[in-house]
Structure 1
Amino acid sequence: MAKSKFLAAASHDLRQPMQSLFFVFTALERHVGTDAGQALLERLGQGLGALKDLLDSLLDVSKLDAGAIVPELADVPIGPLIDETAACFAPAAAAKGLRLLRDAACDVAVRSDRTLLGRIIRNLMENAIRYTEAGEVRIRCRPAADGVRVEIADTGIGIPPEHLDRIWEEFHQIGNQERDRSQGLGLGLAIVQRLSRLLGHPVEVHSVPGTGSVFSILLPAASRPLGAETRRTGPAADRAGDASGLGRVALAIDDDAIVLMGLRSMLEDRGYEVLAASSGDEAIAALERSGLTPDIVVTDYRLRNGQVGTDCLLRIQEFLGRKVPGVVLTGETGQDIVSEIVALGFGAAHKPITGAEMRAAIERQMARHAGASASPVPEESRVAEPA
């Protein structure tokens, strides 16, 4: 319990300075003109990416240990999910000269949470490719007594018997005593184990040192047979729209001056006209002075003097008399805050987020509002002006 609380607090407190670094990095990109400078900037980006991966994994572990993740069970077509995973890892396998094989189509549905199940399969795929230097990695789907068994098999280094129980421990890695981060963080299988327990999907491993390993996930059958209504590929519906901000107005709200500067520079690089504010009051004042209506509002969740970003967004909608798309940045670990953000119709983005991820979050939120006519804000959703 103490460890979980520490991980949650540490990952949260590190996210704000990390977010500052990411936005400053994004702002720097257009100012570095030499090849040597670009090479150094690329190395800086790689270092920031490694640190982000560690923080994200720590946050995942702490959220799972705290019971903050609640599965949303549904009938999930397993074939498209396997196809997406194989396509995602095809470049990594090709770079190592590995054959990435996918067995014949698995035309069945299972009962699971699509996002969390996808995370399990991706972590196992990443692990298989990392520890395989020659040969192949294969994803296959087999019928089982009570459902479907998905297997990820490799021809890698294998796992010695004395390590089979320890591979699920945090930061335990075989053959990486020097903690070379290019070999991963040692948290992937720890997250797999927690997710498998949460979903009730047993994960088993069989391995022969020097020959390879097979990880298998036992999935329950769907509540009804696979039909046309369940053949969606999922993420395709959420693909981003137009990436350009030309002719558009963005309102950025953050009480950290460095984060605000980086966010403003990133949006301006995309062509947005940007209004910047450190609070809800400043945001309303900026809208009054400019007479502009924002096409997107990006705000931090925790602001000074007890303000929160969702209240700022509701105040802005009240001031404008219409709904506007909004993205809320948060470093909080609790699912309740994310649920609140989503329930109000806004997008939630966890810190630290890269410039590319931030742009994608903005585009997704704007796409959801595209084509929708302006509508007044219902009285019950309005918030009173602070005394």
Structure 2
Amino acid sequence: MVGVPKDIYWAPLRQSLVLVGAGGLVFVAIGLTLAVWFSERLARAVSDASVAATALGRGEPPSPRPTRVREINELGRALLDTHDLLRRHDANREAERRAALDARAEAEHANLSKSRFLAAASHDLRQPLQSLMLFANVLRSHVSSSQAVNSLMHLERGLDALKDLLDSLLDVSRLDAGVVNPTLEDFDVSTMLGPILTAYEGVARSKSLILEASPCSATVRSDRTLLARMVRNLLENAVRYTEAGTIRVTCRVENEHVRIAIGDTGIGIPADHLARVWEEFHQVANQERDRNQGFGLGLAIVRRLSALLDHPVDVQSTLGQGSVFTISVPLGIAVSGQAQEPVSVAPLQEVQDRFAVVVDDDAMVLLGLTTLLKGWGYHVLTATSADQALERLEESGRPPDIILSDYRLPQNTGVETILKIRERFQTRIPSILLTGETGSEAEQNAARHDLHLVHKPVTPRQLAAIIQKLAAPD
């Protein structure tokens, strides 16, 4: 037996193992190389998709690059579709925004046009109404038969109703024009509520209604006159739309506010009318437009005053059972020495040897004022312009005891006319400035020179009260 050396026996096996190991290493190296190459391409594709998604987030159009990876390509197409969808959505939203702005501008323009119309209409109607009211009062002393007195009474009631309408239109137009500036003060709310309740007691009694009011001595911070107007309007509605039962006025302190509530047992408000009752001329259950039920402007004025004073007003109502309107007024700081309640003024008594100057370019108003003042015992000098008034005063040589002038005159304003007459006699003559205008110009000029401004039409009783106040010694 011939022996084989071990080296010869194991040599082929070692060579095979070396070849297999080397080949494995080569395949591993190739696999790693391919893996790195594919991972780099995949990373670039994912990075491109990330950049595209980031651009989409900024609102920019994404730009995904095409790859050989189907899922990445689908992601890129999804980003492009999303961008198109967002672009259409933004375009629709912008169109809606522009449409809303256009609608708002159109509504504001329509509201401004309405306010201008109301202001112009009320001004043009005030002049003839003023003369009618003056002459109706003058007629009283010339009417004796019961039939004529009754007819005159109905005439005056009709004129009063027309005056109320024009006054409400004036309030609406002035509030819309922004010329009403509230004067805030701290005051006991009972000093404001007391005179209002007293004024409506008789009206409620005439309808067999019970008017109740709970004691309220809280101090509020508000504009006394404007808040009183809100309460009067709400109480007026409560009396008007209640045929039987009780009207209650209460107030309570709640969350640093005083809540003044006016409740009634009237007809109530249907749910679908609750939002509309604040609109001008809208009235519940008055399709026939019965003027005895008002004009539908009271709550419109309340809404505007609520916004002006920042006194929220809410309403709760049950059809057939009644309504409760509540005003929320901020609490004030209690102060001593509250203002006294206003005292009613008696009609002007006849005077002796008093001299009045009346300046107005409307012949009928001029004649009406002249006749009224003469009936009260005044000597009256009339003029249609400042120059004419000064010329006739030179002839008279007597300084007037009071001046009544329209605001809008030929060549001059009533303010300038009054100032010229005062300068002529070197004395501060009591003066009344009459106007049918609704803008702020007359108010500002009157306030600047401390003149008493009166909006036409003014009733003879109101005019008498103003003259009596101006004639009273300081």
State whether TM-score is above 0.5: yes
Structure 2 residue 451 is the aligned partner of structure 1 residue 346: yes
Matches within 5 A, 1:92-171: 92-104=203-215, 106-171=216-281
* CA displacement, residues 249-272 of structure 1 (integer Å, 9 cap, x when unaligned): 111111111111110111111111
What is the aligned partner in structure 2 of residue 208 from structure 1?
318
What is the aligned partner in structure 2 of residue 364 from structure 1?
469
* CA displacement, residues 319-364 of structure 1 (integer Å, 9 cap, x when unaligned): 1111100001001112332132133122110011111112122222
Asked if the contact 1:329/1:350 (under 8 Å) is kept, the reply is yes
How many residue pairs match? The answer is: 363
Relative contact order higher in (CA < 8 Å, ≥ 6 apart): 1
Secondary structure in 1 aligned to 2:323? strand
Shift, 1:41, TM fit:
1.3
Shift, 1:188, TM fit:
0.4
Shift, 1:302, TM fit:
0.7
Asked if the contact 2:407/2:442 (under 8 Å) is kept, the reply is no
AA aligned to 1:365 is: L
Matches within 5 A, 1:274-313: 274-304=380-410, 306-313=411-418
Measure, in 1, the Cα distance between the counterparts of 2:455 and 2:349: 20
Secondary structure in 1 aligned to 2:277? helix
Asked if the contact 2:347/2:461 (under 8 Å) is kept, the reply is no
Asked if the contact 1:82/1:139 (under 8 Å) is kept, the reply is no
Structure 2 residue 430 is the aligned partner of structure 1 residue 325: yes
Asked if the contact 2:256/2:330 (under 8 Å) is kept, the reply is yes
Matches within 5 A, 1:141-290: 141-222=251-332, 224=333, 226-229=334-337, 231-233=338-340, 235-236=342-343, 243-290=349-396
Secondary structure in 2 aligned to 1:170? coil
Structure 2: unaligned runs, 5 residues or longer:
1-111
Asked if the contact 2:195/2:341 (under 8 Å) is kept, the reply is no
Structure-2-length-normalised TM-score: 0.74
Bigger radius of gyration: 2
Give 4+ residue runs of structure 1 displaced > 6 Å after superposition: none
Measure, in 2, the Cα distance between the counterparts of 1:183 and 1:244: 37
Asked if the contact 1:349/1:361 (under 8 Å) is kept, the reply is no
Structure 1: unaligned runs, 5 residues or longer:
372-387
* CA displacement, residues 74-112 of structure 1 (integer Å, 9 cap, x when unaligned): 1122111111110111111010011111112x2222111
Structure-1-length-normalised TM-score: 0.90
What is the aligned partner in structure 2 of residue 9 from structure 1?
120
Greater helix proportion:
2
The CA RMSD measured in Å over matched residues stands at: 1.6
- The 10-residue stretch of structure 1 (116-125 or 244-253) with the greater mean CA deviation from structure 2: 244-253
What is the aligned partner in structure 2 of residue 63 from structure 1?
174
Secondary structure in 2 aligned to 1:167? coil
